[in-house]
Amino acid sequence: MKNYECIFLDRDGTINHDPGYISQLEDFKLFDFTISALRLLKSISNKFIIITNQSGIDRKLVKEIDLLGINNFLMSEFANNDIPLLKIYYCPEHPDQASDRRKPGVGMFIESSKDYSIDLSNCLMIGDSISDIQPANTLGMDSVLVLTGNGERDKNKFVNDNKPTYVAQNIMTGAKLLTQ
Protein backbone atom coordinates (compact mmCIF):
# COMPACT_ATOMS: atom_id res chain seq x y z
CA MET A 1 0.00 0.00 0.00
CA LYS A 2 1.50 3.31 -1.13
CA ASN A 3 0.95 6.54 0.79
CA TYR A 4 0.47 9.85 -1.03
CA GLU A 5 1.20 13.38 0.07
CA CYS A 6 -2.12 14.52 -1.44
CA ILE A 7 -4.98 12.99 -3.40
CA PHE A 8 -6.40 15.20 -6.13
CA LEU A 9 -10.00 14.57 -7.14
CA ASP A 10 -11.96 15.56 -10.19
CA ARG A 11 -15.54 16.50 -9.32
CA ASP A 12 -18.26 15.74 -11.89
CA GLY A 13 -18.44 12.06 -12.82
CA THR A 14 -15.82 11.14 -10.23
CA ILE A 15 -17.35 11.97 -6.83
CA ASN A 16 -20.82 13.00 -7.99
CA HIS A 17 -23.35 12.23 -10.70
CA ASP A 18 -22.78 14.28 -13.85
CA PRO A 19 -26.09 15.17 -15.52
CA GLY A 20 -24.42 18.06 -17.39
CA TYR A 21 -23.84 21.57 -16.14
CA ILE A 22 -24.91 21.60 -12.49
CA SER A 23 -26.25 25.06 -11.79
CA GLN A 24 -28.09 24.51 -8.49
CA LEU A 25 -27.16 22.77 -5.25
CA GLU A 26 -30.36 20.68 -5.38
CA ASP A 27 -29.05 19.12 -8.64
CA PHE A 28 -25.73 18.15 -7.06
CA LYS A 29 -25.69 14.51 -5.86
CA LEU A 30 -22.66 12.67 -4.51
CA PHE A 31 -22.47 9.01 -5.45
CA ASP A 32 -23.78 6.86 -2.58
CA PHE A 33 -20.29 5.37 -2.12
CA THR A 34 -18.25 8.60 -2.32
CA ILE A 35 -17.91 9.37 1.40
CA SER A 36 -17.10 5.74 2.25
CA ALA A 37 -14.48 5.68 -0.51
CA LEU A 38 -12.92 8.91 0.72
CA ARG A 39 -12.75 7.52 4.26
CA LEU A 40 -10.82 4.53 2.88
CA LEU A 41 -8.53 6.81 0.88
CA LYS A 42 -7.82 8.80 4.04
CA SER A 43 -5.70 5.85 5.16
CA ILE A 44 -3.21 6.60 2.35
CA SER A 45 -3.27 10.42 2.44
CA ASN A 46 -4.17 13.13 4.91
CA LYS A 47 -4.79 15.79 2.25
CA PHE A 48 -7.38 16.09 -0.51
CA ILE A 49 -7.83 18.76 -3.18
CA ILE A 50 -10.57 18.98 -5.80
CA ILE A 51 -9.50 20.20 -9.25
CA THR A 52 -12.45 20.82 -11.57
CA ASN A 53 -13.18 22.43 -14.93
CA GLN A 54 -16.37 24.49 -14.71
CA SER A 55 -16.82 26.05 -18.14
CA GLY A 56 -20.54 26.41 -17.42
CA ILE A 57 -19.58 29.76 -15.89
CA ASP A 58 -18.08 31.16 -19.12
CA ARG A 59 -20.89 29.56 -21.10
CA LYS A 60 -23.40 31.48 -18.88
CA LEU A 61 -25.07 28.20 -17.86
CA VAL A 62 -23.90 28.36 -14.24
CA LYS A 63 -23.63 31.42 -12.01
CA GLU A 64 -20.38 31.60 -10.09
CA ILE A 65 -22.28 32.30 -6.86
CA ASP A 66 -24.14 29.00 -7.33
CA LEU A 67 -20.87 27.14 -7.97
CA LEU A 68 -19.49 28.64 -4.76
CA GLY A 69 -22.59 27.36 -2.93
CA ILE A 70 -21.90 23.84 -4.22
CA ASN A 71 -18.24 24.24 -3.18
CA ASN A 72 -19.30 25.30 0.33
CA PHE A 73 -21.59 22.26 0.53
CA LEU A 74 -18.68 19.99 -0.49
CA MET A 75 -16.32 21.60 2.02
CA SER A 76 -18.95 20.98 4.74
CA GLU A 77 -19.57 17.36 3.68
CA PHE A 78 -15.85 16.60 3.78
CA ALA A 79 -15.44 18.37 7.15
CA ASN A 80 -18.51 16.65 8.66
CA ASN A 81 -17.00 13.29 7.68
CA ASP A 82 -13.49 14.17 8.92
CA ILE A 83 -12.01 14.09 5.41
CA PRO A 84 -9.28 16.76 5.10
CA LEU A 85 -10.22 18.74 1.97
CA LEU A 86 -7.75 21.61 1.66
CA LYS A 87 -9.39 23.51 -1.18
CA ILE A 88 -11.47 23.31 -4.35
CA TYR A 89 -9.74 24.77 -7.39
CA TYR A 90 -11.97 25.44 -10.38
CA CYS A 91 -11.42 26.80 -13.86
CA PRO A 92 -14.39 28.72 -15.30
CA GLU A 93 -12.85 29.10 -18.76
CA HIS A 94 -14.54 28.05 -21.98
CA PRO A 95 -12.47 25.37 -23.76
CA ASP A 96 -12.11 27.62 -26.82
CA GLN A 97 -10.34 30.30 -24.75
CA ALA A 98 -8.60 28.14 -22.19
CA SER A 99 -5.39 28.91 -20.38
CA ASP A 100 -3.09 26.31 -18.84
CA ARG A 101 -5.34 26.32 -15.74
CA ARG A 102 -8.00 24.32 -17.57
CA LYS A 103 -7.38 20.56 -17.49
CA PRO A 104 -5.63 18.91 -19.28
CA GLY A 105 -3.40 21.88 -18.48
CA VAL A 106 -1.42 21.68 -15.27
CA GLY A 107 -2.04 25.23 -13.98
CA MET A 108 -4.41 24.40 -11.11
CA PHE A 109 -2.09 21.61 -9.95
CA ILE A 110 0.95 23.92 -9.98
CA GLU A 111 -1.06 26.61 -8.15
CA SER A 112 -2.11 24.14 -5.44
CA SER A 113 1.43 22.78 -5.07
CA LYS A 114 2.66 26.33 -4.41
CA ASP A 115 -0.23 27.15 -2.07
CA TYR A 116 0.32 24.05 0.09
CA SER A 117 4.00 23.14 -0.55
CA ILE A 118 3.02 19.83 -2.14
CA ASP A 119 5.44 17.60 -4.06
CA LEU A 120 3.22 16.65 -6.99
CA SER A 121 5.38 13.64 -7.89
CA ASN A 122 4.21 12.06 -4.62
CA CYS A 123 0.50 12.59 -5.32
CA LEU A 124 -2.44 10.77 -6.85
CA MET A 125 -5.11 12.05 -9.24
CA ILE A 126 -8.52 10.37 -9.47
CA GLY A 127 -10.72 11.34 -12.40
CA ASP A 128 -13.15 10.14 -15.02
CA SER A 129 -11.63 11.51 -18.23
CA ILE A 130 -8.50 11.69 -20.30
CA SER A 131 -8.23 15.39 -19.36
CA ASP A 132 -7.84 14.32 -15.71
CA ILE A 133 -5.19 11.70 -16.39
CA GLN A 134 -3.03 13.71 -18.84
CA PRO A 135 -1.94 16.37 -16.33
CA ALA A 136 -1.21 13.66 -13.75
CA ASN A 137 1.08 11.94 -16.24
CA THR A 138 2.71 15.24 -17.21
CA LEU A 139 3.47 15.95 -13.55
CA GLY A 140 4.66 12.44 -12.68
CA MET A 141 1.66 11.63 -10.48
CA ASP A 142 -0.05 8.26 -10.12
CA SER A 143 -3.61 8.23 -11.44
CA VAL A 144 -6.86 6.33 -11.30
CA LEU A 145 -9.35 6.48 -14.16
CA VAL A 146 -12.81 5.74 -12.81
CA LEU A 147 -15.36 4.43 -15.31
CA THR A 148 -18.21 6.53 -13.91
CA GLY A 149 -18.94 9.80 -15.69
CA ASN A 150 -16.86 9.95 -18.89
CA GLY A 151 -14.53 7.12 -17.89
CA GLU A 152 -16.24 4.41 -19.90
CA ARG A 153 -16.14 6.66 -22.98
CA ASP A 154 -12.51 7.73 -22.47
CA LYS A 155 -10.92 4.43 -21.37
CA ASN A 156 -9.84 3.51 -24.90
CA LYS A 157 -8.48 6.96 -25.82
CA PHE A 158 -5.17 6.50 -24.02
CA VAL A 159 -2.05 5.77 -26.09
CA ASN A 160 1.48 4.63 -25.28
CA ASP A 161 2.76 6.01 -21.96
CA ASN A 162 -0.20 8.34 -21.44
CA LYS A 163 -2.29 5.68 -19.69
CA PRO A 164 -3.64 5.85 -16.13
CA THR A 165 -1.76 3.96 -13.43
CA TYR A 166 -5.00 2.20 -12.44
CA VAL A 167 -8.50 1.79 -13.86
CA ALA A 168 -11.45 1.19 -11.54
CA GLN A 169 -15.24 0.90 -11.91
CA ASN A 170 -15.73 3.84 -9.53
CA ILE A 171 -14.03 5.70 -6.71
CA MET A 172 -14.97 2.98 -4.21
CA THR A 173 -13.42 0.12 -6.17
CA GLY A 174 -10.41 2.38 -6.76
CA ALA A 175 -10.11 3.08 -3.03
CA LYS A 176 -10.27 -0.64 -2.24
CA LEU A 177 -7.58 -1.36 -4.85
CA LEU A 178 -5.28 1.35 -3.47
CA THR A 179 -5.72 0.43 0.20
CA GLN A 180 -5.33 -3.34 0.06
Triad 85, 87, 142: Cα angle to 5°: 70
Whether 27 sits among the annotated catalytic residues: the reply is no
- Enumerate the β-bridge partners of residue 6: 123
Kindly state the DSSP code that residue 30 receives in the 8-state scheme. B
Distance separating alpha carbons of residues 157 and 163, to the nearest angstrom: 9
Triad 86, 68, 63: Cα angle to 5°: 150
CB atoms within 10 A of CB 18: 17
Distance separating alpha carbons of residues 29 and 44, to the nearest angstrom: 25
Catalytic residues: 10, 12
